[in-house]
Chains A and B, each alone.
Chain A
């Protein structure tokens, strides 16, 4: 089955760190563009970061300097390392595949919930 599955979410105190994982099956992360998109409670979607097939990475301003996207080709997995977490980072985090020709997100995982609170 072709799917993306996120893990690693949870409750974390402000200032803490968390690493999210996106495990892919039926799709090869090294040849695709994989993004992280988040959704705060009751809010819209916010693109966070992307890793391209050539390994280049890009971040939203809200993530620059605090979040790092990476991948492990041998595990077919993409990661989001989140440091210096703030209450406003509380959200469901989705990994999604970006269609290279269209720029749309055509495959999504079910999401993992991150709550930043003391």
Chain B
């Protein structure tokens, strides 16, 4: 199963709303779609699982949505610490990840 994220890079300012996309090559159960945040020099960190469930300690400005083949990670209002790389992952089959979207400060 191949995951394609868009855009590759998104340039925005703190306080703005952001939407990241993850398209899956075949329909998956939304129960098996997750999002991770990765900052430079660090390991990924689980943000969202089961399409819309926030992991422990993740603030509610992060939200996930979608179904079938199209999934979205939304930031209601960007904070300075949100600028990082975001990866989507499916785990319906052997785990696979998207190529990542870099969210950078404009």
Residues of A within 8 A of B (CB): 35, 37, 43-47, 58, 60, 94, 96, 99, 102-106, 108-111
| Shortest Cβ gap from B46 to chain A (Å) | 5
Q: How far is the CA of A33 from the CA of B65 in the complex (A)?
A: 27
| Shortest Cβ gap from B62 to chain A (Å) | 15
What chain B residues lie within 8 Å of A94 (beta carbons)?
43-44
Q: How far is the CA of A46 from the CA of B3 in the complex (A)?
A: 12
A-B contacts, CB under 8 A, total:
53
Task: In the A-B complex, list the 7 residue pairs whose CB atoms are closest, starting with the nearest.
Answer: A103-B91, A108-B43, A47-B95, A44-B99, A45-B97, A104-B49, A104-B34
Q: Would you call A44 and B97 a contact (CB within 8 A)?
A: yes
What chain B residues lie within 8 Å of A37 (beta carbons)?
95
What chain A residues lie within 8 Å of B97 (beta carbons)?
44-47
What chain A residues lie within 8 Å of B42 (beta carbons)?
110
Q: Would you call B32 and A106 a contact (CB within 8 A)?
A: no
What chain A residues lie within 8 Å of B50 (beta carbons)?
102
What chain A residues lie within 8 Å of B30 (beta carbons)?
none
Which chain B residue lies CB-closest to A109? Answer: B43
What chain B residues lie within 8 Å of A46 (beta carbons)?
97
Which chain B residue lies CB-closest to A6? Answer: B43
Q: How far is the CA of A58 from the CA of B97 in the complex (A)?
A: 17
